């Protein structure tokens, strides 16, 4: 009676046996709806066969038994999710002890998605992928690509992908060279030895009302050589951004990019500065217009396009935005508190050399102290003020040090995944989807059909009267036989369940069952004029 309440589950070749009532504990799942009418039921072996992962199924079956779903650490997270979806289970039922390990693959997938957006892969895309990227795959499949459609991706890769070809590497080196020259020129032109005084024509009030040229020692301009250097650099930047915008796959995505926005603003600032200097050449405060040139220092961010490390660093700060905002919040909170405390602490005792005349001045002191800079321009003089300063310094060390490990961890995570992707093989073997048999009893039906060709009816009985009492039910499920040398003799006991060559009923005794040839394989002779037996042998093998 107990055997009728049990069922056998064969998952990936591993047999499991449990009670039918156990599978009913979690309704509306695949295992709770098992019936013998399903296609994966084998009536010969009396088992349900599932071609799924056996290791995951063991945990799933334990979930039915104990009501607790644990995550096996020897499988990948997406595989576990796929198996849960197949068996109709919810992934949110994973136990809390396994939840952190189970959700690690989701963080990894998010990291890989971010790295895909950063475009750190130097692999050259195929022609089909390029056509899809630029939106003319229809013309590509029809073979009607125009000259511009064939040339546009090449120009784009040369200017935007520095490692795609030798020409792109040369263009990238030239671009980096002009960026460095532009920044160095911007810095050097502020040096006093690199500037020349302004020559002005000043009218001197004399009896003859004459005018004279004089040197203005207080107002200087940059040397004329810097003008030509900036002119050449900005000419290159203008050509570069124009070609990238002209050949980009998506204009909207190009304009949304922060690096492209910085590049455009820095290039336009040069022309705006040039126009304003020409318009205000006679003004005494023309130096104020040079403030617009500070925008060109932002061209340093263009180097992120040529360095994967800088891309990872920028992405690290984006990923750590919450921690950085938390750091700023605690800094502001501590600055306000300690600035107020030191202001009143210095006023309690008589202190003629008090540096804290107001709380806003105390804010500067608290910021310098909490960041452990300590300029020394403002110091507390009383004992109570020194005690407040000590607390301020200790709080600053703890506040600044706490978010640093999170930022370092994010950078290490992105960098390690980048290195792993660089070592990943570019070409992977493609797995072809085929229709697998879903019913184990198809083999039994096939054997039954072959038996009918040999003279047996659908019930397995011989159509001849003298052999009608034989039990010719479908053969057992074929089990894999051990590989033996061709000269070895087969063991009669181990090979008894397997039909090798049917020789029909014995001639000496018509009522005995058929005999089986258990001679060595090498000594067997091929069957002659017996095609039906050959077909049966091939089918069973």
Successive 10-residue mean pLDDT values, the chain, 541 residues: 82 92 91 86 91 93 92 90 92 89 83 75 74 82 85 89 86 92 89 76 57 58 85 92 91 87 88 77 58 79 81 85 89 94 87 86 92 87 91 92 86 82 66 56 49 46 40 40 39 39 41 42 43 48 46
Helix residue ranges, H only, 349-440: 359-370, 383-401, 404-423
Residues 28 and 70 sit within 8 Å (Cβ to Cβ): no
- Maximum pairwise Cα distance, the chain: 157
Q: What's residue 201's pLDDT?
A: 55
Single pTM value for the model: 0.60
Q: What's residue 70's pLDDT?
A: 92
Q: How far is residue 484's CA from residue 497's CA, in Å, rounded to a whole number?
A: 17
* Residue closest to 52 by CA, chosen among 456, 503, 438: 438
Beta-strand relationship, 14-19 and 195-203: unpaired
**Cβ count near 279 (within 10 Å):** 11
DSSP, collapsed to helix, strand or coil, labels residue 359 as helix
CA angle (90, 93, 94) in 5-degree steps: 115
Q: How far is residue 288's CA from residue 290's CA, in Å, rounded to a whole number?
A: 5
Would you list the DSSP string of 251-275?
HHHHHH-HHHHHHHHHHHHHHHHHH
Q: How far is residue 120's CA from residue 116's CA, in Å, rounded to a whole number?
A: 7
The sheet with strand 41-42 has its strands ordered as 14-19, 6-11, 47-50, 41-42
**Cβ count near 179 (within 10 Å):** 22
Q: How far is residue 181's CA from residue 299's CA, in Å, rounded to a whole number?
A: 11
Find tokens 């810095």 and name the residue.
187
Q: How far is residue 334's CA from residue 330's CA, in Å, rounded to a whole number?
A: 6
Helix axes 321-348, 383-401, angle to 10 degrees: 180
Q: What's residue 51's pLDDT?
A: 93
Beta-strand relationship, 41-42 and 14-19: unpaired
Handedness of CA 109, 114, 117, 123 (dihedral sign): negative
* Residue closest to 296 by CA, chosen among 158, 155, 186, 420: 186
DSSP, collapsed to helix, strand or coil, labels residue 217 as strand
Would you list the DSSP string of 447-512?
HHHHHHHTTB-TTS-BSSGGGTTS--PPPPPPPPPPP--TTSPPPHHHHTTS---B--S-SS-TTS
Instruction: Record the tokens describing residue 76, joined without a space.
Output: 């990948």
CB crowding 437-451: b at 16 or more within 10 Å, else e: eeebbebbeebbebb
Beta-strand relationship, 47-50 and 195-203: unpaired
CA angle (287, 289, 290) in 5-degree steps: 70
* Residue closest to 451 by CA, chosen among 514, 535, 509: 535
| Domains delineated in the chain | 3-102 (3.30.710.10), 150-306 (1.20.120.350), 321-402 (1.10.287.70), 440-541 (no CATH)
CA angle (88, 92, 94) in 5-degree steps: 95
Q: How many CA atoms lie within 13 A of 109 on its CB side?
A: 8
Find tokens 């938390």 and name the residue.
326
Q: What's residue 435's pLDDT?
A: 60
CB crowding 189-215: b at 16 or more within 10 Å, else e: beeeeebeebeeeeeeeeeeeeeeeee
Alpha carbon separation from 468 to 358, 449, 460 (Å, rounded) = 115, 18, 9
DSSP, collapsed to helix, strand or coil, labels residue 59 as helix
**What end-to-end distance do the CA atoms of the chain give, in Å?**
37
CA angle (10, 16, 17) in 5-degree steps: 120
Q: What's residue 506's pLDDT?
A: 41
Q: How far is residue 110's CA from residue 315's CA, in Å, rounded to a whole number?
A: 13
Q: What's residue 514's pLDDT?
A: 43
Q: What's residue 505's pLDDT?
A: 43
Residue 73 DSSP class: T
Residues 35 and 59 sit within 8 Å (Cβ to Cβ): no
């Amino acid at each position: 009676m107990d055997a009728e309440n049990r069922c056998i589950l064969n998952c990936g070749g591993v047999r499991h046996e449990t009670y039918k009532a156990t599978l009913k504990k979690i309704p509306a799942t695949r295992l709770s709806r098992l019936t013998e009418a399903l296609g994966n039921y084998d009536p010969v072996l009396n088992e349900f066969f599932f071609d799924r992962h056996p290791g995951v199924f063991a945990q799933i079956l334990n979930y039915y038994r104990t009501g607790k779903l644990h995550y096996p650490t020897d499988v990948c997270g997406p595989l576990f999710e796929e198996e849960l979806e197949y068996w109709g289970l919810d992934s949110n039922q994973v136990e809390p002890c396994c939840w952190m390990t189970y959700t690690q693959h989701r963080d990894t997938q998010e990291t890989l998605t971010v790295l895909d957006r950063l475009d750190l892969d130097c692999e050259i895309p195929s022609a089909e992928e390029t056509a899809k990227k630029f939106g003319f795959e229809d013309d590509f499949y029809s073979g009607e690509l125009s000259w511009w459609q064939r040339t546009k991706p090449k120009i784009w890769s040369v200017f935007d992908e520095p490692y795609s070809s030798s020409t792109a590497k040369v263009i990238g080196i030239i671009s980096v060279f002009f960026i460095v020259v532009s920044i160095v020129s911007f810095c050097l032109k502020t040096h006093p030895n690199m500037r020349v005084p302004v020559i002005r024509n000043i009218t001197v009030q004399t009896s003859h009302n004459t005018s004279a040229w004089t040197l203005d020692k207080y107002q200087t301009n940059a040397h004329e050589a810097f003008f030509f250097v900036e002119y050449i650099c900005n000419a290159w930047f203008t050509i570069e951004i124009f070609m990238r915008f002209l050949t980009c796959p998506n204009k909207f995505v190009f304009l949304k990019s922060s690096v492209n926005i910085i590049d455009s603003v820095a290039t336009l600032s040069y022309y705006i500065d040039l126009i304003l200097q020409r318009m205000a050449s006679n003004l005494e405060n023309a130096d104020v217009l040079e403030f617009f040139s500070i925008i060109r220092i932002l061209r340093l961010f263009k180097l992120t396009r040529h360095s994967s490390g800088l891309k990872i660093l920028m992405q690290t700060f984006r990923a750590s935005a919450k921690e950085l905002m938390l750091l700023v919040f605690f800094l502001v909170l501590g600055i306000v508190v300690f600035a107020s405390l030191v202001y009143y602490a210095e006023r309690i005792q008589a202190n003629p050399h008090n540096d804290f005349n107001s709380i806003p001045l105390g804010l500067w002191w608290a910021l310098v102290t909490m960041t452990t800079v300590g300029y020394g321009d403002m110091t507390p003089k009383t004992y109570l003020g020194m005690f407040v300063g000590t607390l301020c310094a200790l709080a600053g060390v703890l506040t600044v040090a706490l978010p640093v490990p999170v930022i370092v961890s994010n950078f290490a995570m992105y960098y390690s995944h980048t290195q792993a992707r660089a070592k990943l093989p570019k070409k992977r073997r493609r797995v072809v989807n085929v229709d697998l048999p879903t019913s184990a009893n198809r083999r039994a039906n096939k054997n039954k059909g072959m038996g009918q060709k040999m003279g047996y009816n659908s019930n397995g009985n011989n159509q001849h009267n003298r052999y009608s009492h034989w039990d010719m039910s479908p053969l057992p499920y074929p089990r894999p036989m051990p590989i033996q040398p061709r000269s070895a003799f087969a063991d009669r006991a181990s090979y008894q369940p397997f039909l090798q060559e049917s020789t029909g009923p014995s001639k000496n005794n018509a009522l005995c069952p058929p005999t089986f040839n258990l001679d060595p394989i090498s000594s067997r002779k091929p069957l002659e004029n017996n095609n039906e037996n050959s077909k049966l042998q091939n089918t069973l093998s």
